[in-house]
Amino acid sequence: MKVLLTGAAGFIGMHCAQRLLERGDKVVGVDNLSAYYSVKLKKDRLARLKHPRFVFSKTDLSNARALNQIFRKTKPDAVLHLAAQAGVRHSLENPQAYIQANIVGFANLLECCRAYPPRHLVFASSSSVYGSNPKLPWSETHNVDNPISLYAATKKADELMAHVYSHLFGLQATGLRFFTVYGPWGRPDMSPMLFASAIMQGKPIKVFNRGDMQRDFTYVDDVVEAVVRLIARPPQPDACWNGAAPNPASSFAPWRIYNIGNHTPVEVTDVVRLLEEALGKTAIREFAPMQPGDVPETCADVADLEAEIGFRPGTPIAEGVRHFVEWYAGYAGRK
């Protein structure tokens, strides 16, 4: 297939591109190399994608004309949309970046899919859409009408916008709610990288909610496996969908939502302990209150995912942290 992959220089994007190239696909990567975090890290990821079937374009999705040209030239069989302005806390400081990247950029992408229809659009949503829902595990059938961060609101908006294009234009679209993805080449603003960097430098790490935090840490290889399997399964209209008792995870349109999570919440303090053991150094803990827009616990119900593709993420946290530290120690030593 020809796969147009946005966010190709990103954490999940790079890993997905590698997997698609390995199986024989042609990948057209798009990324604006935003300075939200280290551009060097993004360029180092791209350096791993040097391949005769990989083409890269430095393009901002808010540039509708440039994006249209890429679609017109590529005419992709599938679109994997992973580009976004990420991060709950940063949305408190720079809301406009989220509107431009996650709303304007996604609207432009949908218009391109309308003009040059792919067989399947797979796009990244987020577990953040569940807001402060106290009912765990979080299921795609739960209501997500009460986001508690602008980042979450933009991801919910993306799901709704994709649904409109599925209904009006028959665009087969699948949204993926990722749960705390970690692993080699991870984002520097995520806790494993933040903690590892602070431990190595002897700096204090902030542990929010005074340590009472659990996250459904999901190893990146598991995420890639789920994504690649789902690309090959464009959704069909749900014949059982009932407007009087609607299922928020499916539709009368060819549109679907899946959780991508490990279904095993882990104490953040346990992750700190595993990092200490792997790095051979003790962390300096600085306990802090809960941050605005954050939640104390996340956990994914992945029954629908497993039923659809015969796979569910399951890498144990100790194994995933070990692989992450092996990469981090080598990468930090080269910088």
Which residues are catalytically annotated?
151
| Separation CA 187–CA 194 (nearest Å) | 9
Instruction: Determine how many CB atoms are found less than 10 A away from the CB of residue 97.
Output: 16
Contact between residue 218 and residue 15 where contact means Cβ atoms under 8 Å apart: no
Contact between residue 231 and residue 80 where contact means Cβ atoms under 8 Å apart: yes
> Which amino acid makes up residue 130?
Y
| Separation CA 303–CA 333 (nearest Å) | 41
How far is the CA of 92 from the CAs of 86, 172, 266, 293, in angstroms? 12, 33, 26, 9
Burial bucket for residue 309 (CB in 10 Å: 0-12, 13-18, 19+): middle
Contact between residue 51 and residue 17 where contact means Cβ atoms under 8 Å apart: no
> Which amino acid makes up residue 216?
D
- From the list 73, 14, 5, the residue with the least C-alpha distance to 44 is 14
3-class secondary-structure state, position 207: strand
